[in-house]
């Protein structure tokens, strides 16, 4: 079955090759680390002594989750190197600013590529953040006696159905995972339903909540506000992690809201950096002045564009009410905890499949609202801006939900102590 999987995986890579080649020609995001992805271990990694902990976090959100865990692991494993791999270039940019001893692009899930890294690094454990379970990588660790743990384990009902379709083979893959640290009891139950024995599944909380708490110092927020030329008393709405087709809706809602509250400003943060220029053009085409975080713009611009990597968790702290994107268009939604940790009401659209359990928790706590379109977003913004009591009550409830998992990193590190020598 592994031979068939590897064949189909390689076939998929070949099908994707023309797009990748075009991206390389344009100097796009896939140009970075091509050799690393194909199995060439960077020289700085070759100098690291055996026994490191390898943590794989696919992109920005997972790197945020890993950062808090790294701090706790360092206390538990002093002197042990922490290596952080990512799949995306945006993840690499944030990993470079983390406390990891080294960062690199994760190799493709081909036996030769993953084998080259494992034979060079000889890590004492591999930690996979969320659901980055790659069969050849897991199997290569198993044959070398390297324990594998899934941390911040996320498993939706839809994913559970897909994995069950793979039958006994996927159960055997999961049988090679030593430990699962799931975010919630519901997700822990789903991992057990895949055949992972109960004694290997733990509920440790959401590392992203832990990371949000650790990454929000007041002085950092004030520094960002100064760059954006935001006064202390400025009223700001935040739209974070927006996706294609969503910025139009956000700007329509902002137009209605600003008509009622002329001093309100909007900070918008697109999810993908390759769209920064496109969104800036969209803002100006909508008739607004745009000030960019990276290059400035008109003083007093109505719309601020956060066109940097890794600053959104800090930027959320500058707002009064936040909308979390990827949710009014069908892309699965994004992390609700980052704005909630500041005691803000949280708004999101109907498409929160990737964070369904968390979205349900927020709604049940009265800490969030679902907005289906631009009009509903505008109505929610205007209601919460005009009703301070309601805004503070929702924000307080959101903060309580966020802080329920504030010690997830410590709990996860304690469970992992059984794997680490």
Could you list the active site residues? Answer: 62
CB 52 within 8 A of CB 125: no
> Can you tell me the distance from the alpha carbon of 154 to that of 150, in angstroms, rounded to the nearest whole number?
9
Cα–Cα separations (whole angstroms), residue 360 to 189, 233, 379: 17, 33, 21
Q: Round to whole Å and give the CA distance between 247 and 376.
A: 15
Name the strand (E) or helix (H) holding 86: strand 82-86
Q: Residues 165, 189: contact at Cβ < 8 Å?
A: no
Write phi, then psi, for 368 (nearest 5 degrees). Answer: -155, 165
Rounded Cα distance, 365 and 403, in Å:
13
| Residue indicated by tokens 């400003």 | 265
How many Å apart are CA 418 and CA 261, to the nearest integer? 56
- Strand order across the 82-86 sheet: 102-105, 82-86, 53-56, 125-129, 148-153, 179-182, 201-203
Strands of the 265-270 sheet, one edge to the other = 290-292, 303-305, 265-270, 236-242, 321-324, 346-348, 368-370
Strand partners, 418: none
- Is 353 buried (19+), middle (13-18) or exposed (0-12) by CB count in 10 A? middle
Q: Which uninterrupted H or E stretch holds 226?
A: helix 218-227
Structure-token match 């899930």, residue found:
109
3-state class (DSSP) for residue 377: helix
Cα–Cα distances in Å, from 400 out to 222, 273, 328, 337, 394?
24, 31, 25, 10, 10
Residue labelled with tokens 């070398």 = 144
């Amino acid at each position: 079955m592994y031979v068939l999987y590897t064949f189909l995986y390689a076939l998929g890579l070949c099908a994707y090759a023309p797009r990748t080649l075009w991206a390389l020609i344009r100097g796009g995001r896939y140009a970075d680390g091509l050799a690393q992805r194909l199995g060439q271990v960077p020289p700085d990694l070759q100098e690291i002594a055996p026994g490191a902990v390898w943590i794989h976090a696919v992109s920005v959100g997972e790197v945020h989750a890993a950062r808090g865990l790294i701090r706790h692991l360092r206390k538990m494993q002093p002197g042990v190197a922490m290596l952080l791999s990512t799949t995306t270039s945006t993840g690499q940019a944030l990993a470079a600013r983390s406390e990891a001893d080294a960062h690199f692009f994760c190799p493709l899930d081909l036996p030769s590529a993953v084998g080259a890294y494992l034979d060079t690094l000889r890590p004492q454990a591999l930690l996979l953040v969320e659901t980055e379970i790659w069969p050849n990588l897991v199997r290569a660790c198993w044959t070398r006696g390297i324990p594998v743990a899934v941390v911040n384990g996320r498993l939706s009902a839809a994913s559970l159905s897909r994995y069950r379709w793979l039958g006994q083979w996927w159960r055997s893959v999961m049988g090679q995972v030593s430990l699962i640290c799931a975010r919630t009891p519901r997700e822990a139950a789903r991992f057990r339903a895949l055949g992972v024995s109960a004694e290997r599944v733990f509920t440790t909380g959401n590392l992203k909540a832990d990371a949000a708490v650790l990454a929000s110092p007041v002085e950092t927020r004030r520094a960002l506000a100064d760059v954006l030329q935001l006064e202390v008393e400025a009223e700001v709405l935040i739209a974070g992690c927006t996706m294609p087709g969503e910025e139009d809706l956000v700007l329509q809602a902002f137009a209605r809201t600003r008509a009622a509250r002329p001093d309100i400003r909007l900070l918008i943060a697109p999810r993908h950096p390759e769209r920064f220029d496109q969104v800036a053009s969209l803002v100006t085409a909508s008739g607004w002045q745009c000030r960019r975080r990276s290059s400035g713009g008109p003083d007093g611009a109505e719309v601020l564009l956060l066109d940097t990597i890794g600053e959104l968790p800090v930027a959320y702290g500058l707002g009064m009410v936040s909308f979390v994107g990827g949710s009014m268009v069908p892309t699965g939604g994004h992390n609700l905890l980052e704005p909630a940790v500041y005691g803000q009401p949280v708004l999101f659209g109907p498409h929160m499949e990737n964070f369904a359990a968390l979205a349900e928790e927020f709604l049940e706590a009265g800490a969030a609202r679902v907005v289906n379109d631009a009009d509903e977003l505008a109505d929610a913004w205007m209601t919460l801006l005009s009703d301070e009591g309601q805004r503070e009550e929702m924000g307080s409830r959101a903060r309580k939900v966020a802080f329920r998992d504030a010690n997830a990193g410590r709990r996860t590190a304690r469970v992992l102590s059984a794997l680490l020598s």
